């Protein structure tokens, strides 16, 4: 049975490409970063290990045009195609499913992702997809599904696999919901990504967060998020929990990546990575195997206050560098409304600890909440400036808070009639799409202002001061990374304000 | 900030900790994020006391080498911490409380939210399965009806009480057919994620329970 895990190149009217495989709504960029979709890669690996003929078909990362990608796919004639989408590309994918079905009527089309999984009926009614996969444990579900389809000669008349909604083949209008899939999996039975299968080098160089290349994403140690309660976040939902991988299994992968693939930076894209004892044990294992001396940096996503001083100390010793962390606002009111579970006081203290031990915090900031006043926005801009000028954070990324499908924030926006668009395509994070107490232009201005910090003399002087720590990473940061950062900042500003820079 | 009012130890690694509740309101089963001032650390803990109580209590296992649980262990009466929340949807819907048998399945401190639910709603139509290592880890058995609770003790050979069984929860769940109306019950599973994963497989794959009737909360 031939299975293709496919990412079609999706290009908007500005000639920008959609980045589908990131942790929120799709964003369009002229020169996007190609992120390895880790769970999908684990799914491909699992299927291959179980004897299926798997095609890893990321048209974006392979720099294909849509037409080239499409013709290649049709030529391959897979028995099953899996695709992933979020709100802004749903219309595109629905249309695409009809186009593919015309050419390949016997191919089973499966879709996953946060939009379809929460509204499977809608997708099945509006498209030619046959199956909606409703679980974030899609590697486990896909394997069960493909095993079942294989036994039943690809029949869609009766499927037992949990975690899917499907259209019955014999009575085309009948939609069957098989109920929820297991929320908690033992990740020790998930697969470590087969790097050759997913052509890992396609993702190894263009990622702006890597200070050294080739860099790569590891197989996540935590699937979904241990906290999972921030109201805007894709990891918040009654159907989501979290699962954990053992330290040994993960460090085995790091060892393989460093020794056999020459990787120079590894990022774990778990919603939040290990904390406390697990993080310390991980760092100790890296050190025990001597992997901290191989010139490879490590990084991950975390939440404020998941890393205490002792943990940070060990991480620094083990050559961890890049810490991606959400600073969703500088206003305590907003932090509280978003269920962040901490305030500015704790955020500052935690950043002080991280930077004391030489870690490089990267802040992900958001603006444009439906309640965000000028004062709140100013608080954010001021606090971000302060952190960056004082060296409490190294890099940042600012996005417009765009409600992610059926998260509590999205539901709140709908219930309070705050959404000002109803076309799914408008959820592409390029503009504010909620009613706000101030003109939207203030948010765009704030975004520009925060991105411009990278060029501010105070920020540059701070980076020069860092050089006197005589750490390689600080020198690399100033000379290599800042050049890349400029390109990245320009793209973001162009993208978010839609004005050429 | 919330003041520590009292602590009770079940054994040296398992304790109950009670804070002044102030005006916090929650549904039993929801959890809070506890943060110790100036230590830059927070962790989640499930509600353990009834939502009608004046105090807000938690049931804590001190984890060897764990950061927060050891700091909580060291806290003294009068000390203060920040409590954020409540969070989460690991709660009983009204229709479940009124019309359904609830089957609680917990490992270790995973019993905490079930104590809160039992105490708040004065539940009667339930069964409780708890997995612990030793009898000394037993918490709050007196709050549940003996005939409705099953304690699975994995690391002891001499089992003396009627509702105590040697082994893991899985062994007891193999016999779940003996429970009247088990097919239509609501299953709430809480605690160690490996246990949740195993139990889910037994319930769904072997006992054909509808997965939509299973609600889980993973602690670690
Ligand atoms: C929603 C939620 C609710 C929770 N409710 C409770 C609760 O009511 N009571 C409680 O004691 N814990 C609870 N926890 C776990 C708690 O948040 C912490 O993980 C735990 O106290 C350990 O923190 P630490 O800083 O001491 O250990 P860390 O330094 O963070 O180390 C974590 C290590 O402790 C182990 N561990 C975590 N929790 C436990 C536990 N309960 N028993 C045995 N080993 C554990 C993990 O496997 C991990 O290896 C809950 C977690 C979540 C996500
Ligand atoms: S901590 Fe981060 S990943 Fe987890 S729910 Fe909050 S924003 Fe999402």
Of the listed ranges A176-185, B33-42, B78-87, B208-217, the one predicted with least confidence: A176-185
Residue among B19, B21, B16, B24 at smallest CA distance from B4: B19
Residue B196 forms contact with A (CB below 8 Å): yes
Q: Chain A residues contacting B, CB < 8 Å?
A: 162-163, 179-186, 226-227, 229, 238, 241-244, 276-277, 280-281, 304-311, 339, 341-343, 346, 349-350, 353
Q: Is A233 in the pocket of ligand 2 (CB under 6 A)?
A: yes
Round to whole Å and give the CA distance between A446 and A137: 38
Which residues of chain A make contact with B217, given a CB cutoff of 8 A? 241
Preferred mutation among A305, A311, A355, A411 to probe B, highest tally of B CBs within 10 A: A305
Give B54 Cα–ligand 1 centroid separation in angstroms: 25
Judge: A353–B44 Cβ closer than 8 Å, yes or no.
no
Residue of B35, B41, B62 to mutate, testing the A interface (most A Cβ within 10 Å of its Cβ): B41
Instruction: Specify the number of domains making up chain A.
Output: 2
A186 lies in a domain? Answer: no
Residue range B2-87 forms a domain whose CATH class is mainly beta
Residues A127 and A229 in one domain: no
pLDDT for B73 beyond 70 = yes
Site to substitute for ligand 1 among B34, B43, B71, B106, most atoms within 8 A of C-beta? B43
- A164 and A272 together in one domain: no
Burial code (b: 16+ CB inside 10 Å, e: under 16) for B28-52 equals bbbbbbbbbeebbbbbbbbbbbbbe
**Residues A153, A225 within the same domain:** no
Chain B: give the shortest CA distance to residue A243, in Å. 7
Q: How far is CA B5 from the centre of its chain?
A: 21
B205 and A CB contact within 8 Å: no
Q: Does residue A52 sit within a domain? A: yes
Rounded CA-CA distance A334/A371 in Å is 8
- Report the alpha-carbon distance of residue A359 to residue A365 in Å, rounded: 19
Q: What does the mean pLDDT of chain B come to?
A: 95
Mean pLDDT, consecutive 10-residue stretches, chain A (501 aa), reads 96 81 71 87 98 96 94 98 94 98 97 93 96 94 97 93 91 85 89 97 89 94 94 88 94 98 96 96 98 97 96 98 96 97 96 96 97 98 97 94 93 97 92 97 96 91 86 81 70 60 36
Query: Does the residue A188 lie in any domain?
Result: no
Indicate if A84 and A45 belong to the same structural domain: yes
Contact (CB, 8 A) for B187 and B211: no
CATH number at residue A104: 3.40.50.280
Give pLDDT tens digits for B98-156.
Answer: 889 999 999 999 999 999 999 999 999 999 999 999 999 999 999 999 999 999 999 98
B89 lies within 8 A of chain A by CB: yes
Q: Answer yes or no: do A443 and A479 share one domain.
A: yes
For residues A7 and A81, state if they share a domain: yes
A339, A498, B2, B4, B159 from B35: Cα distances, Å:
14, 41, 10, 13, 39
Residue A132 lies in a domain: yes
Q: Is residue A298 part of a domain?
A: yes
For B:49-68, CB contacts with A below 8 A are 63, 65-68
Chain region(s) in chain B for CATH 2.40.30.10: 2-87
CATH code of the region B94-218: 3.40.50.80
Please indicate whether, in this complex, the C-beta atoms of A346 and B89 are within 8 angstroms of each other.
no
Q: In this structure, are A11 and A136 located in the same domain?
A: yes
pLDDT at A496: 63
Which residue's CA is the closest to the ligand 1 atom numbered 5? B45
B208 contact A CB<8A: no
Strand-strand pairing, B55-61 and B14-20: antiparallel
The length of chain A is: 501
Decide: B165 and B80 in contact? Cβ < 8 Å.
Answer: no
The answer to whether residues A376 and A345 touch, using CB atoms and an 8 Å cutoff, is no
Pick the closest to residue B58 from B47, B50, B43, B69 (CA basis). B47
Q: Do B197 and A182 touch (CB under 8 A)?
A: yes
pLDDT value of residue A499: 45
Say how many Å lie between the first and final Cα of chain A, rounded.
49
For Cα atoms A364, A365, A367, give the angle at the middle one, nearest 5 degrees.
150
> In terms of Cα–Cα distance, which of B81, B39, B29 is closest to A306?
B39
Indicate yes or no: CB of B40 within 8 angstroms of CB of A309.
Answer: yes
Separation in Å, CA of B37 to nearest CA in chain A: 8
CB contact under 8 A, A276 and B66: yes
Q: Inter-chain contact B42–A242, Cβ cutoff 8 Å?
A: no
Alpha carbon A381 to its chain centroid, in Å, reads 24
Q: What is the ipTM of this complex?
A: 0.91
CATH 3.40.50.80 domain position(s) in chain B: 94-218
Same domain assignment for residues A299 and A434: yes
Q: Which of helix, strand or coil describes residue A53? A: strand
Closest to A360 measured CA to CA, from A294, A297, A281, A280: A297
* C-beta atoms of B42 and A311 within 8 A: no
**B2 C-beta closer than 6 A to ligand 1:** no
> Averaged over B61-84, what is the pLDDT?
97
Closest residue of chain A to B43, computed from CA coordinates: A306
Q: Are residues A377 and A254 in the same domain?
A: yes
* Residue B155 CB-half CA count within 13 A: 7
Q: What is the pLDDT of residue A50?
A: 98
Give pTM, 2 decimals: 0.93
A116/A232 same-domain check: no
Ligand approaching nearest to the C-alpha of A226: 1
CATH number at residue A483: 3.80.30.20
- The domain in which residue A314 lies consists of 204-497
What pLDDT does residue A501 have? 36
Neighbours of A362 (CB within 10 A): 19
Same domain, A163 and A263: no
- Verify that A304 and A443 share a domain, yes or no: yes
Cβ neighbours, 10 Å, residue A471: 13
């Amino acid at each position: 049975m031939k299975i293709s895990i496919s990412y079609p190149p999706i290009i908007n009217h500005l000639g920008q490409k959609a980045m589908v495989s990131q942790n929120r709504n799709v964003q369009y960029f002229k020169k996007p970063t190609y992120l390895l979709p880790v769970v999908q890669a684990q799914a491909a690996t699992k299927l291959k290990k179980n004897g299926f003929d798997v095609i890893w078909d990321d048209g974006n990362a392979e720099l294909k045009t849509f037409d080239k990608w499409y013709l290649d796919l049709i030529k391959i004639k897979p028995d099953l195609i899996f695709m992933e989408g979020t709100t802004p590309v749903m219309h595109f994918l629905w249309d695409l499913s009809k186009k593919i079905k015309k050419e390949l009527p016997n191919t089973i089309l499966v879709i996953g992702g946060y939009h379809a999984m929460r509204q499977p009926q809608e997708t099945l009614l509006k498209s030619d997809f046959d199956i909606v996969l409703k679980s974030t444990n899609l590697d486990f579900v896909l394997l069960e599904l493909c095993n079942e389809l294989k036994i039943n000669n690809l029949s869609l008349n009766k499927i037992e696999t949990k975690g899917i909604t499907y259209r019955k083949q014999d009575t085309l209008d009948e939609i069957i919901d098989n109920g929820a899939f297991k929320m908690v999996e033992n990740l020790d039975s998930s697969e470590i990504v087969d790097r050759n299968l997913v052509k890992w080098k396609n993702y190894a160089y263009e990622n702006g967060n890597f200070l050294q290349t080739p860099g790569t994403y590891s197989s996540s140690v935590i699937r979904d998020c241990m906290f999972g309660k921030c109201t805007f976040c894709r990891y918040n939902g009654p159907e989501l929990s979290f699962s954990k991988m053992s330290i040994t299994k993960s460090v085995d992968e790091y060892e393989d990546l460093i020794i056999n693939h020459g990787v120079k930076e590894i990022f774990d894209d778990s919603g939040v990575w290990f904390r406390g004892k697990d993080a310390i044990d991980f760092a100790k294992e890296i050190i025990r195997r001597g992997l901290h001396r191989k010139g490879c940096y490590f990084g991950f996503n975390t939440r404020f206050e998941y890393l205490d001083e002792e943990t940070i100390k060990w991480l620094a010793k083990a050559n961890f560098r890049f810490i991606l962390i959400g600073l969703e606002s500088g206003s305590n009111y907003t932090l509280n409304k978003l269920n962040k579970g901490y305030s500015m006081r704790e955020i500052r203290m935690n950043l002080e600890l991280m930077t004391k031990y030489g870690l490089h915090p990267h802040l992900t900031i958001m603006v444009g909440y439906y309640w965000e006043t000028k004062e709140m926005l100013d608080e954010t801009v001021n606090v971000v400036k302060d952190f960056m000028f004082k060296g409490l954070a190294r890099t940042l990324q600012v996005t417009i808070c765009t409600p992610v499908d059926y998260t509590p924030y999205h539901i709140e926006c709908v219930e309070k009639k705050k959404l000002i668009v109803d076309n799914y395509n408008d959820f592409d994070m390029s503009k504010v799409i909620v009613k706000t107490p101030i003109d939207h232009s203030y948010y765009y201005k704030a975004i520009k202002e925060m991105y411009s910090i990278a060029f501010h003399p105070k920020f540059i002087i701070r980076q020069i001061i860092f050089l006197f720590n005589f750490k390689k990473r600080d020198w690399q940061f100033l000379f290599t990374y800042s050049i890349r950062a400029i390109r990245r900042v320009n793209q973001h500003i162009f993208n978010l304000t839609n004005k050429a820079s | 900030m919330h003041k520590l009012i009292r602590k009770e130890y079940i054994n040296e690694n398992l304790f109950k900790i009670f804070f002044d509740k102030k005006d916090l309101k929650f549904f039993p089963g929801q959890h809070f994020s506890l943060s110790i001032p100036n230590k830059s650390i927070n962790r989640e803990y499930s509600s353990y006391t009834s939502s009608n109580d004046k105090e807000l209590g938690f049931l804590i296992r001190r984890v060897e080498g764990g950061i927060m649980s050891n700091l909580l262990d060291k806290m003294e009466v009068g000390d203060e911490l920040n409590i954020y929340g409540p969070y989460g949807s690991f709660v009983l819907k009204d229709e479940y409380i009124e019309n359904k048998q609830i089957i609680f399945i917990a490992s270790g401190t995973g019993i905490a939210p079930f104590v809160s639910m039992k105490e708040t709603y004065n539940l009667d139509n339930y069964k409780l399965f708890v997995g612990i290592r030793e009898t000394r880890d037993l918490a709050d058995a007196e709050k549940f009806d003996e005939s409705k609770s099953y304690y699975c003790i994995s690391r002891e050979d001499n089992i003396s009480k009627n509702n105590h069984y040697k082994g893991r929860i899985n062994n007891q769940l193999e016999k779940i057919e003996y429970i009247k109306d088990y097919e239509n019950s609501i299953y709430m599973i809480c605690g160690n994620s490996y246990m949740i994963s195993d139990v889910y497989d037994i319930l769904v794959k072997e006992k054909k329970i509808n997965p939509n009737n299973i609600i889980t909360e993973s602690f670690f």
